[in-house]
Amino acid sequence: MAEIRLENVGKTFKDVVVISGLDLTVRDGEFFTFLGPSGCGKSTILNLITGLEPVTSGNIYFDDILVNDLSPRDRDVAMVFQSYALYPHMTVYENIAFPLRMKKLDRETIRAEVEKAASVLGLEELLQRKPKELSGGQRQRVALGRAIVRKPKVFLMDEPLSNLDARLRVEMRAELKRLHRELKTTIVYVTHDQAEAMGLSERIAVLYRGEIQQCAPPLEIYTRPANTFVAGFIGSPSMNFFEAVVLSRKPLRADCNGMVLEPRVEKAPEADKVLLGMRPEDIRISAGRKAAAEAYVEMVELEGAAVWLDLRWRETSLKGKASVDQGIEAGDCINIELPHEKLHVFDIETGKRL
């Protein structure tokens, strides 16, 4: 078990700054996720924590022990990569046993450990198979088994589910969650898949261009995004953004297309305009006329029980969500309402939440 602390950590490749001034504590036993788009530095951070790459500046501590100069082996971490790289000529049993054989443990101890891991991961029936006789999800579980038997202080996982199809990914997500509950080991997880991050993590650090945009529990990231990057990155389809003219600062009243909105803010805006955000599912949509504003339905996309709507409200394009039963079709005019409590307000210059 270990707490991981990054103190002003920076990483530069040649002269390209990939990570700068990273401060962060991953708590003992926590499931912590780095979430961000491709190239934002997620794998680099994991490699710094593992020790596969040296830091350019700053310090990394495991339980208050400075590990900057420790080799990956001495840091006692197990890394699970995106490609699970099992040994093709070995059986599942031999693959899982491999790190224990390297440690020169005796046969009986190895057998007991492998069987325990296999039972946690539901691999008991597959121990004599070779990797090529397994599905993607089963192979991924073997790779996890190989990490588990080492009983590391920390698991580092770099997009371990990205090779799996959608259904298996969801299954393995549940598996990982159960595993974390049982082992209670610190897990640092990397993904660009927000649903995975939301479902698995106790806390998420949203990363963009090597900097943490927000570090908080999933629900807080979703309901109180710290800036427009986080707001737009989390949630699918993306949050709607639109400008409004400030009528009064405290309490905030702002005008958008003639509709006066009164969103709650912590800080009064300085500029004469604000950027407002609202998630598609938060826009209230009703047929018929008379409510706050009328929007034209440009397109309807079926999602199952719900439909996504491309709406035009005067000059503003919005994405909305309606139930199939409402029977909304392209070309319709509908009423929209923007509930004040669901509005997010951002500084128009900096994009920071107000």
Ligand X SMILES: Nc1ncnc2c1ncn2[C@@H]1O[C@H](COP(=O)(O)OP(=O)(O)OP(=O)(O)O)[C@@H](O)[C@H]1O
Contact window for ligand X (CB under 6 A) among 13-21, 92-100, 266-274, 319-327: 13-21
Which region among 20-28, 35-43, 168-176, 268-276 touches ligand X (by CB under 6 A)?
35-43
Residue 263 is a binding residue for ligand X (CB under 6 A)? no
Q: Which is nearer to Mg ion, 42 or 203 (CB)?
A: 42
Q: Which does 331 bind (CB under 5 to 8 A by kind): Mg ion, ligand X, none?
A: none
Between 43 and 214, CB nearer to ligand X: 43
Question: Site map for Mg ion, 102-141, x if CB under 5 A?
Answer: ----------------------------------------
Q: Give dist(CA 292, CA 340) in Å, integer.
A: 13
| Residue 103 half-sphere exposure toward CB, CA atoms < 13 A | 17
| Residue 75 in the binding site for ligand X (CB under 6 A) | no
Q: Which of 38, 88, 266, 305 binds ligand X (CB under 6 A)?
A: 38
Stretch that binds Mg ion, among 36-44, 47-55, 286-294, 303-311 (CB under 5 A): 36-44
2, 4, 18, 176: which one binds ligand X (CB under 6 A)? 18
Distance CA 307, CA 323 (A): 6
- The answer to whether 43 contacts Mg ion (rule: CB under 5 A) is yes
5, 6, 41, 80: which one binds ligand X (CB under 6 A): 41
Q: In what order do the strands lie in the sheet with 253-256?
A: 259-261, 253-256, 240-248, 273-278, 344-347
13 belongs to the binding site for ligand X (CB under 6 A): yes
Q: How far is the CB of 53 from Mg ion (least distance, A)?
A: 12
Which of these ranges, 33-41, 235-243, 273-281, 329-337, lies near ligand X under the rule CB under 6 A? Answer: 33-41
CB atoms within 10 A of CB 125: 9
CB 158 within 8 A of CB 188: no
Q: Over the range 218-241, which residues count as b (16 or more CB within 10 Å of their CB) and which as e?
A: beebbeebbbbbbbebbbeeebbb
Q: Is the peptide bond before 251 cis (omega within 30 degrees of 0)?
A: yes
Question: Over the range 153-162, which residues count as b (16 or more CB within 10 Å of their CB) and which as e?
Answer: bbbbbbbbbe
Strand order through the sheet with 333-337: 284-286, 333-337, 293-302, 306-313, 316-323
Give the β-pairing of 240-248 and 65-66: unpaired
Binding site for ligand X (CB under 6 A): 13, 16, 18, 36, 38-44, 192
Binding site for Mg ion (CB under 5 A): 43
